[in-house]
Amino acid sequence: MDFILPFSQAETLLREEIKNIKECGYFDYKSKNPSFSISDYLENKGIMLGLLIARTKTEERVVLKAFSGALSSSYIVEGFTPPCFSVNAFEEVVSEYDSKLHCYTDRIEMGEEDLIPTRRLLSNECLEKIKELYTFYTINGKIKFSDIKNLNYTTGMGDCATIKLLSYCFKKGFTPISLAEIFFGHDSDTRKDGNLYPPCDEKCKPLIKYLFNIDLLYSDDDIAIINKDAGLLSTPGRGEDKWDSASVRIKALFPDAPELPSCHRLDMDTSGIMVFAKTEKAKREISMQFESRKTEKVYEALLRGVLTKESGTINLPMRLDVDNRPYQIVDFEKGKSALTDYKRVRIEVLNNEKVSRVLFYPHTGRTHQIRVHAASGLNLPIVGDRLYGERKEFERLCLHARSLSFYHPTTGEKLTFTSNPEF
Q: Average pLDDT of the chain?
A: 95
List 267, 269, 321, 385, catalytic entry: 267
**Maximum distance among all Cα pairs of the chain, rounded to whole angstroms:** 84
53: confidence class by pLDDT, cuts 50, 70, 90: very high
The C-alpha R_g of the chain, in whole angstroms, comes to 26
Give residue-wise pLDDT tens across range 141-161. 999 999 998 888 888 999 999
If we measure between CA atoms, which residue out of 147, 136, 207 comes closest to residue 171? Answer: 136
Give the mean pLDDT of 287-299. Answer: 97
- Rounded-to-integer distance, Cα 58 and Cα 54, Å: 11
Give the mean pLDDT of 162-172. Answer: 98
Question: Is the confidence at residue 1, as pLDDT, over 80?
Answer: no
Instruction: Give the model's pLDDT for residue 149.
Output: 87
34: confidence class by pLDDT, cuts 50, 70, 90: confident
Question: Is the confidence at residue 386, as pLDDT, over 80?
Answer: yes
- Rounded-to-integer distance, Cα 247 and Cα 233, Å: 8
Give the mean pLDDT of 35-40. Answer: 93
Give residue-wise pLDDT tens across range 338-373. 999 999 999 999 999 999 999 999 999 999 999 999
Question: Is the confidence at residue 226, as pLDDT, over 80?
Answer: yes
Check: CB of residue 249 under 8 Å from CB of residue 214: yes
- Concerning whether 267 is annotated as a catalytic residue, the answer is yes
- Rounded-to-integer distance, Cα 64 and Cα 167, Å: 11
If we measure between CA atoms, which residue out of 63, 78, 86, 94 comes closest to residue 31? Answer: 78
Instruction: Give the model's pLDDT for residue 244.
Output: 96
Check: CB of residue 50 under 8 Å from CB of residue 164: yes
Q: For residue 117, say if its preceding peptide bond is cis, omega within 30 degrees of 0.
A: no
- Rounded-to-integer distance, Cα 48 and Cα 405, Å: 32
Instruction: Give the model's pLDDT for residue 379.
Output: 98
- Rounded-to-integer distance, Cα 201 and Cα 226, Å: 15
Give residue-wise pLDDT tens across range 72-121. 999 999 999 999 999 999 999 999 999 889 898 889 999 989 999 999 99
Give the mean pLDDT of 394-422. Answer: 97
List the alpha helices (DSSP H) in 44-136.
87-109, 116-131
